């Protein structure tokens, strides 16, 4: 029997990590049929004809198609909307230049971070909502910068985190394992927390499809499961299957998915990183054996080199021909605005 492989496109696919999904489900990389391969080609061709040339690699095309049940027209519109948002939000500039200096102080109120991997090799993402105090947080940062940080972390999940995890595991990993701690989320915080989470969810759902592997909502308050049982009726069954609602006795189920040594002590694990797990960013993406510079970093270098070459050329021309028009300074700008976790 032939081993499953991803049907690639030499023009756009330049992967330096495994490209076959361990998930043996129709439509996942390495597990597509002839019709789905044709839909990838159709989607890419239509996007090329519409003037797009970036992010048209096969893995990306498949994620957008899966998110829209392989409806090419819907996947195309989703991709176009995403590219429009990326340009308006300044995503490419943000991931290269954003400096979240206030992060340690923000984490005191709202802890959100990637930390090591689960038993499937995926990055573990942890979020603690109980301490959110938007009034206090907005004295430290702004809603815009919080969303910008969220987007930068999503970009870093795609590269370098997931590629490094894929290299270490020997199979393609496209999703994360998320832990959302609801401890301390009482009625007094519900409205403010809900408003922010709704914005975050919109970014996740609309612009980063098919990135959620498992979601453990722990320390869920009384009645939360009943509410969720109503909400899940409106969710895709695949999404519902990824979500686990757990109360205060969550440790055994969580530890069945996340190795004890990878889970912070606060959640029943044994990890106690120096300086705090929340700030360590430990994982295969920090290990030289598995980590490689993200492609967006090399793009920055190429852009910088181009700018430097153009500047040198302008200086040389100016010297040879004498004074002319003032030199044009190129500045990278990242526009940001608020955008209103389901996948």
| pLDDT tens-digit readout, 31-69 | 999 999 999 999 999 999 999 999 999 999 999 999 999
Confidence of residue 339 (pLDDT cuts 50, 70, 90): very low
pLDDT of residue 175: 97
Mean pLDDT of the chain: 85
Do the Cβ atoms of 205 and 343 come closer than 8 Å?
Answer: yes
Query: Quick one: average pLDDT of 100-106?
Result: 96
pTM: 0.84
pLDDT tens-place string over residues 222-231? 877 777 777 7
pLDDT tens-place string over residues 108-167? 999 999 999 999 999 999 999 888 888 899 999 998 999 999 999 999 999 999 999 999
The angle subtended at Cα 87 by Cα 163 and Cα 69, nearest 5°, is 60
DSSP letter string over 233-281? Answer: GGS-HHHHTTEEE--S--HHHHHTTS-GGGSBGGGT--B--TT-HHHH-
β pairing state of 176-181 and 111-117: unpaired
Share of the chain above pLDDT 70, in %: 83
pLDDT tens-place string over residues 235-260? 778 788 899 999 999 999 999 999 99
pLDDT tens-place string over residues 259-288? 999 999 999 999 999 999 999 999 999 999
SS3 214: strand
Residue 293 CA: distances (Å) to CA of 10, 156, 219 = 21, 11, 37
Residue burial 303-332, b: 16+ Cβ < 10 Å; e: rest: eeeeeeeeeeeeeeeeeeeeeeeeeeeeee
Give the torsion sign (CA, 335, 285, 209, 189).
Answer: negative
Do the Cβ atoms of 19 and 30 come closer than 8 Å?
Answer: yes
Do the Cβ atoms of 231 and 224 come closer than 8 Å?
Answer: no
CB atoms within 10 A of CB 136: 14
């Amino acid at each position: 029997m032939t081993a499953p492989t991803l049907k690639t496109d030499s023009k756009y696919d330049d992967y330096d990590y495994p490209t076959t999904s361990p998930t043996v489900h129709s439509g996942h990389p390495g597990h597509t049929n002839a019709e789905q391969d044709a839909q990838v080609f159709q989607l890419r061709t239509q996007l090329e004809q519409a003037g797009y040339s970036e992010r048209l690699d096969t893995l990306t095309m498949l994620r957008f198609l899966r998110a829209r049940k392989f409806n090419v027209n819907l996947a195309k519109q989703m991709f176009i909307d995403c590219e429009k948002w990326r340009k308006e939000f300044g995503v490419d500039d943000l991931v290269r230049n954003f400096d979240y200096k206030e992060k340690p102080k923000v984490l005191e109120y709202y802890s959100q971070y990637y930390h090591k991997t689960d038993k499937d090799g995926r990055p573990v993402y942890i979020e603690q909502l109980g301490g959110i105090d938007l009034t206090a947080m907005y004295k430290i940062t702004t809603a815009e910068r919080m969303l910008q940080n969220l987007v930068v972390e999503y970009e870093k999940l795609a590269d370098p985190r997931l590629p490094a995890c894929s290299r270490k595991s020997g199979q393609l990993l496209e999703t994360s394992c998320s832990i959302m701690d609801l401890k301390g989320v009482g009625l007094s915080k519900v409205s403010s927390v809900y408003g922010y989470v709704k914005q975050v969810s919109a970014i996740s759902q609309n612009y980063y499809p098919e990135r959620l592997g498992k979601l453990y909502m722990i320390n869920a308050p009384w009645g939360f499961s009943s509410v969720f049982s109503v909400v899940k009726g409106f969710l895709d069954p695949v999404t519902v299957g990824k979500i686990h609602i757990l109360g205060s006795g969550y440790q055994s189920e969580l530890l069945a998915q996340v190795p004890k040594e990878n889970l912070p002590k606060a959640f029943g694990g044994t990890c106690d990183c120096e300086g705090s797990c929340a700030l360590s960013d430990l994982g295969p993406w920090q290990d030289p054996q598995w980590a490689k510079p993200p492609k967006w970093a090399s793009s920055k270098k190429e852009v910088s080199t181009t700018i430097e070459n153009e500047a040198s050329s302008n200086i040389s021309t100016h010297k040879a021909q004498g004074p002319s028009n003032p030199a044009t300074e190129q500045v990278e700008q990242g526009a940001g605005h608020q955008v209103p976790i389901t996948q």
